[in-house]
Amino acid sequence: MYQIDEPIYFYFLSLLPIIWLGYILVHRWKISTQSNFADRALMERLSPNRSFFKPIIKLLFLSLSILFLIFGLVNPKIGTELETVKREGVDIVFVVDVSKSMLAEDIAPNRLEKSKRLVSAIVNQLVSDRVGIIAYAAQAVPQLPITTDYGAAKMFLQSLNTDMLSSQGTAVDSALDLSITYFNDQDQTNRVVFLISDGEDHSDEAEKAAIRASEFGVRVFTLGVGTESGAPIPIKKNGIVETYKKDLEGNVVITKKNANILKTISEVSNGAYYDGNDTDLVLDFVEQTLKEMDKKEFEAKKFVSYKDQFQIFLLIAFTLLLLEVFIFETKTKWVQKINLFNEK
């Protein structure tokens, strides 16, 4: 695994072929100019200690030092460094109603989209709390287990829709029973469920499920979306309303928010009910409520981060540059004796 911090510095690599091309042109110009005064054999006799290969070696060292200097500026983060980070917060499970009644457009753009935006806004103001997501209609389905990955939470949240569950209805009791299984930490003192729904079609089992949740130390806060006056449930095709949902007698179904059942669920579980249509009100309530709760330190989490490696490249670059400075263009006696470059 690697990561590049400043890839723009890679453009400086174009200097290397320019340097080598310049060296070749200057070298040819020197030979051409010197040939006007003396042939090569005479020049070698006039300057017997001049090395032909050392300037190339110096240029090679200079090029390598520039290359490693560029890599140092780019700062490739190679490998991984494990950091142990301790977090503290509250475990929160969002239980979102995805039944067909959530398609009603008595609140823009519709109840479900409003619910998703509401949850997203709540997640945005969280710091180190853990979150989970459950979707439910006639049955409850886990979407995201307890996690501190808010990015994943938003991704799963956006995927919620009324077609994800084939059977329709509103089994809030199943959703609350499922939410209890999310809290597997026995030491967690504060366990919170945010139930976002229009409150319609909830049976008496919902209240019993809320009581069971309360017995496990789970507080259920309910957020109602929609209006008491209600609205029909549109049936769309390609985003265009074709008709509205009708009952067996052919009458258009008007779905209305049932705030009473939502208030009952919150009351029996030591929670509270708030109007989910007012986003600012809900956010202020959530912030204040979480602030007053005792935070528990979660077990140490290991996060993978990239470790800077620019120091290594800079050290190599300056070492090569130092070697280049101390390499002279004259022949070295011991090298001349072994005739390493076949210059005799």
Neighbour tally for 289: CB within 10 Å: 17
Do residue 313 and residue 286 come from a single domain? Answer: no
198 and 287 co-located in one domain = yes
Where in the chain does DSSP place strands (E)?
A: 2-4, 76-78, 81-85, 88-89, 91-97, 130-136, 140-147, 191-197, 218-224, 231-232, 234-237, 240-244, 254-255, 273-275, 296-297, 301-305
What digits encode the pLDDT tens for the residues 266-310? Answer: 999 999 999 999 999 999 999 898 888 877 666 545 555 667 777
Residues 327 and 182 in one domain: no
Give the Cα-Cα-Cα angle 342, 36, 27 (nearest 5 degrees).
Answer: 50
- Proportion of the chain above pLDDT 70, given as a percent: 79
Number of domains in the chain: 2
Print burial letters for 259-275: b (CB count within 10 Å at least 16), e (below 16).
bebbbbbbebbebebbb
Classified as helix, coil or strand, 274 is strand
Whether 41 is covered by a domain: the verdict is yes
- For residues 107 and 63, state if they share a domain: no
Range of the domain at 147: 85-297
Amino acid at 97: D
Q: What confidence tens digit (pLDDT) does each residue in 151-200 have? A: 999 999 999 998 887 666 678 899 999 999 988 766 566 789 999 999 88
Q: Do both 115 and 44 map to the same domain?
A: no
Mean pLDDT score, 74-97: 77
- State if pTM tops 0.75: no
Same domain, 286 and 260: yes
- Contact between residue 25 and residue 98 where contact means Cβ atoms under 8 Å apart: no
Answer whether residue 344 is part of any domain.
no
Spatial distance between the Cα atoms of 132 and 150, rounded to a whole number of angstroms: 10
Residues 20 and 55 in one domain: yes
Instruction: Decide if 332 is inside a domain.
Output: yes
Closest CA to 59 of 29, 15, 8, 12: 15
In a domain, 27, yes or no: yes
Compute the distance between CA of residue 70 and CA of residue 7 in angstroms, rounded to an integer.
Answer: 10
Q: Do residue 76 and residue 95 come from a single domain? A: no
In DSSP notation, 225-269 reads: -S-SS-EE-EEEETTEEEEE-B-TTSPBPEE---HHHHHHHHHHT
Residues 68 and 189 in one domain: no
**Closest among 214, 200, 248, 14 to 100, alpha carbons compared:** 200
Task: Please give the pLDDT value at position 243.
Answer: 86
Structural domain includes residue 343: no
Residue 170 amino acid letter: T
Strands of the sheet containing 140-147, edge to edge, are: 140-147, 130-136, 91-97, 191-197, 218-224, 273-275
